[in-house]
Structure 1
């Protein structure tokens, strides 16, 4: 009956403008609020009974300074959008169990009210998991204090906590749905679950929570990829697809149109760009490809949400990490989006605005004025609190424990023990250091272990009895995608030393640890004893001491700026108490965005925690960011310049051909074969060109099931295009169908990739996904596959 009443009300209201339908925030509790509806009609969405195409701009309130929220919303409206799409980040709202924060930067309701005041509808995506290149995909770290927890499954504790969170969100905004006269037209159930598993009961349980908390009238939807949306698709939900710039749009919706011919079509994440990782090139996507895709969708009446329209910033410790392997994301979430990290319109913005204007029945609003940008002259940090002279009281434990077991969520942790006499060189192995470990003997730096690079061991020199071993581990973002989101920090298992005596290996598991928790909290930085920087000189490595640096600087006027961190090592920055995020000298990001609204005329305070130590303790404010400058020695390709794969003595498991066109293809071997190293030799392409490209690869086991790709590593690739884009060979198993490995133009076939699976497997076949574009550039035609238990010859 309630749906019928709403339909009758809507039939009389569909002529009203969005402004008339929306009551302003001061009237939200009065009788002038008008109920509306949003639902799926035949081949279209219906807003108040009238066909409606969603043109949504994705942006995230925690990534934008609160003072700039309305500016960014107005930027989206002036672009030609009619809706704001946003995630709700659980871990930002519940940093401790049962302590919910919806104030200040976390004021979700206020952000949605601002959308309403600016005549923008809202698509709410409350998770509980959001991905978004955000710490642990939005899940709070304290869930890991229960070590056996099953995340994103019907684990009783996990579901209990999700229910509490969803109730807390609903208490803030459930009365802001369109049925209640508010701007929220749709609410998402979970997020891309097909990329995690197949569990319709779990997805159904999340749906039931949302129905219970938001009411029966709310329109619910779920999003996934065209390749997996049926795995968890629930019959009573709207289904939307996620895909990126350049994709073959008809192909992306083909299966949905087949199973639901009358469904409205929507790309709920049309990826405008991509995110950056530490040690990789800055990601960009061509504006013309993005605009062509949006133009095509709108010409066909297809709704979309542009992810991201404005990316913003991963303040403090909120940047996540990608998987397989460990690829931590940088602080900037610029995303090569139409609106830059600092809220400025880009060339992409203006070009897209021209296109969207064609699909608007009214003149677009003027583009808001850009916020003033200022330059701050170089200044030095005047005080330093040396880290090793300011350690807190330790815990004492025989066995290694993770950071979470000490009730620590973020920051760094120092493990200390005393070594036995080691008369010869010894191998130290840390299983595993999450994420960046530095090794010291009696205070002297010995080396580092970088999780990104798979480093777990290093050689210790011979030492006498009683030498102190210290392992300083910095936690970076927890993995935000795939099964590896259960990402403990610190040292996750054990530490061993391996000696060779008379030709025999002796392995000793070290114990008797002192553990110092260096939490990323203001209390830790304030507790330090500080000394004048001039009292210290650079060490043999040219660096100043590891520790916390601080000073004040004065401004005559305020405005946005970009702090230059090029002379610093690795760590975190705070200005006037605001966390700006992580820096790391390897790049590509070299500056940190500092919003003018966080500065003040007169005195300002800056605090920098550098876990490596700066080469020079100075900084300055630039008018433009530096987010595309790598300065590291480790190559980002997977071939030694002097090595060439030799397959002359090898026998292929199979010789075959792929079919032309988009979509997944599977090849079965003639019989199962056991091996650890797999080589795919590509002989030619479908288009006759010299480039080869692969979006994704899987290998199947004896039962035809996909094996885990978490331990995979690229052992060799003959060619990788990393100058014109990030198309290295590890893109073949990065869990992202829109990214791809590509060889360099001008290098002739054959092309080869060798993958180390991490352990031997019995393999039955291979699954291959070409690029998503309609003309499938670089699609492979003929190939050979080799499988070996030992590595190939190079």
Structure 2
């Protein structure tokens, strides 16, 4: 027995030695040295593409990684959206399309390095720039500041994120080569002149320290326009540039803030651009992008295509911008971005141009381009039932208050709220909802009388409320602002008193929550509020918000696009998945349906139509998206 024990111990140590040797062989090194990015001791040029896991069904991640690799990229970059993971304080979700670990592991399997852009602020045309909406309910918390309450939550987020990815850092044998500190902070500094520059710098330095203390021991970098390095750079952290096409300017700026040497990287090289509802869909020339990429490659400038593949803002994840002309500019559901890889993962002329340029400048052979996901068309989906949402809501639970409450006060992040007030006496005049955030349909006794919206700064309209009548406003959150100084003013719903002829309508407000966090169940509606296809044409339903329901059978599944060009405004669920928002103003007129969300046999569609200017009995899908049909 003693001899057997000695043999077992010897075998164990032999196994351990072999395991350690294999791990040592598989472990790679990445660092910044002598003005270069170094991988296993040799200079490397990072040729990266931005692609966000949350914007792509997880079943397609491998396909999209192969698309990046075939374009000639050696790296994938992704933001981490805090609000997708900490859905409420202390409640974390890294499952399904939020499985960051799996996404990074697939990148490694496909031979791609990973750049992690954790935030805590992301921007990215994403709801609230990635911040959880509930942060606004924390007493004393101020976003993006040297504020104890805010930094307490960022520290918890960073530590939780480290638990998810610690073994995936390059220093621990994983593919993550770099981690970003904050994001475009120099831009924020330039807009918040009310905060001393020294305080801005203290905040940024504290985010860096939180990263280091958590264990993020890879090279760190910041990302700003070169003209904003003064406010966004951090001592000991590599500054990289956004949107800088001039190599000379890039090198001058980096040298100034990085001890007179490189490496040089454009962290956001824009092959396309973001797009808003009610505005033309932007486009960028393929030849111009190819020329810029060629210039980078020939001058040892690393770059990250933002976006290489945009994907989709499913559900309520799209954010918003703002300018002086519009109080809000809601982002489209599609995040196609005019990127080299389209929303549905297709090759574009821009892809072909970049692949050609990169192949001429690198020493490795590019793999073949993977085939696209199959596409199907469904000529007609019959809508056989509808449910009256106003009637349903007013029979449900209500919150009473003397004044309208915000979404945040109602503890609701997204979706809709119905605000209702009974008037015992008649009143007429100019209805003023200057505190509207962001879009409202106005009813009197259930009859539609108008629309208000923040995009057009349309906050006022004539109103006539008869004796013993009810004013109703169905208010939609169209996405919290994700960029700029207004990010700190992001409450939703109605945030100030409702007025008629400048008199505040206080008292007797009732609020009915409609978060639409799950697909509505028509079986939960009362029998009187659900109508069959035999009564769909009834005029009594026109102008009222409805949920349309239909089913369809498939023998083969594939990607498709629901054509909503004849509809008004709303959201769609297919087999329980929220595809996102449609709005007939355009330019987007279709919603992308990933084939992995369909199934052979019976499928269900639910359409929440807010405007409902006429009754519909069917909807169809098409094989090609419509993203540039502006109707406004």
Q: Which residue of 2 aligns with 1:406?
A: 410
1:440 and 1:600 map into 2 onto residues whose CA distance is: 39
Q: Which residue of 2 aligns with 1:213?
A: 214
Aligned residues: 593
1:453 equivalenced with 2:451 (yes/no): no
Contact 1:537–1:544 (Cα < 8 Å) also in 2: no
1:521 equivalenced with 2:525 (yes/no): no
Q: Which residue of 2 aligns with 1:132?
A: 124
1:282 and 1:330 map into 2 onto residues whose CA distance is: 10
Q: Which residue of 2 aligns with 1:263?
A: 262
- Candidates 390, 393, 402, aligned match of 2:392: 390
Deviation (angstroms), 1:258 = 3.8
Specify whether residues 171 and 196 from structure 1 end up closer, same or farther in structure 2 by C-alpha distance, changes over 3 A only: same
Deviation (angstroms), 1:340 = 0.3
1:113 equivalenced with 2:105 (yes/no): yes
Structure (1/2) with the larger helix percentage: 2
Deviation (angstroms), 1:163 = 1.4
SS at match of 1:418: strand
Q: Which residue of 1 aligns with 2:96?
A: 104
Q: Which residue of 2 aligns with 1:640?
A: none
CA offsets 1:596-640 (integer angstroms, 9 cap, x no match): 1111111111111111126324211211101111122xxxxxxxx
Which region of structure 1 is more displaced relative to structure 2, 223-232 or 543-552?
A: 543-552
For residues 590-605 of structure 1, the aligned pairs below 5 Å read 590-605=589-604
Specify whether residues 28 and 581 from structure 1 end up closer, same or farther in structure 2 by C-alpha distance, changes over 3 A only: farther
Contact 1:226–1:253 (Cα < 8 Å) also in 2: no
Specify whether residues 614 and 48 from structure 1 end up closer, same or farther in structure 2 by C-alpha distance, changes over 3 A only: farther
2:589 and 2:107 map into 1 onto residues whose CA distance is: 33
Q: Which residue of 1 aligns with 2:503?
A: 507
Gaps of 5+ in 1: 1-26, 499-505, 633-794
2:103 and 2:253 map into 1 onto residues whose CA distance is: 36
Contact 1:33–1:180 (Cα < 8 Å) also in 2: no
Q: Which residue of 2 aligns with 1:646?
A: none
For residues 393-792 of structure 1, the aligned pairs below 5 Å read 393-419=397-423, 421-422=425-426, 425-461=428-464, 463-486=465-488, 487-498=490-501, 507-522=503-518, 524-525=520-521, 527-529=524-526, 530-537=530-537, 539=539, 543=542, 545-613=544-612, 615=614, 616-632=616-632
TM-score when normalising by structure 1: 0.72
Deviation (angstroms), 1:192 = 0.3
Q: Which residue of 1 aligns with 2:192?
A: none
TM-score when normalising by structure 2: 0.90
Contact 1:494–1:510 (Cα < 8 Å) also in 2: yes
For residues 179-328 of structure 1, the aligned pairs below 5 Å read 179-197=171-189, 198=197, 199-215=200-216, 217-243=217-243, 247-259=245-257, 260-324=259-323, 325-328=327-330
Specify whether residues 442 and 614 from structure 1 end up closer, same or farther in structure 2 by C-alpha distance, changes over 3 A only: closer
Deviation (angstroms), 1:202 = 0.9
CA offsets 1:451-497 (integer angstroms, 9 cap, x no match): 00111111113x44322111111111111001222311110111011
Specify whether residues 599 and 317 from structure 1 end up closer, same or farther in structure 2 by C-alpha distance, changes over 3 A only: same
Q: Which residue of 1 aligns with 2:4?
A: none
2:410 and 2:40 map into 1 onto residues whose CA distance is: 53
1:91 and 1:258 map into 2 onto residues whose CA distance is: 35
1:32 and 1:354 map into 2 onto residues whose CA distance is: 36
- The one of the two structures with greater contact order (alpha-carbon pairs below 8 A, sep at least 6) is 2
CA offsets 1:82-115 (integer angstroms, 9 cap, x no match): 0000011111111111111111111100110001
SS at match of 2:571: strand
Contact 2:519–2:576 (Cα < 8 Å) also in 1: no
Gaps of 5+ in 2: 1-18, 190-196
Q: Which residue of 1 aligns with 2:5?
A: none
Contact 2:519–2:578 (Cα < 8 Å) also in 1: no
Contact 1:567–1:618 (Cα < 8 Å) also in 2: no
Q: Which residue of 1 aligns with 2:6?
A: none
Contact 2:380–2:618 (Cα < 8 Å) also in 1: yes
Q: Which residue of 2 aligns with 1:342?
A: 344
SS at match of 2:336: coil
SS at match of 2:472: strand
Contact 2:381–2:550 (Cα < 8 Å) also in 1: no
2:607 and 2:550 map into 1 onto residues whose CA distance is: 9
Deviation (angstroms), 1:31 = 3.7
Contact 1:41–1:263 (Cα < 8 Å) also in 2: no
- Candidates 149, 158, 173, aligned match of 2:141: 149
Deviation (angstroms), 1:148 = 5.1
SS at match of 1:405: coil
1:61 equivalenced with 2:57 (yes/no): no
SS at match of 1:123: strand
- Candidates 23, 33, 39, aligned match of 1:41: 33
1:476 and 1:29 map into 2 onto residues whose CA distance is: 54
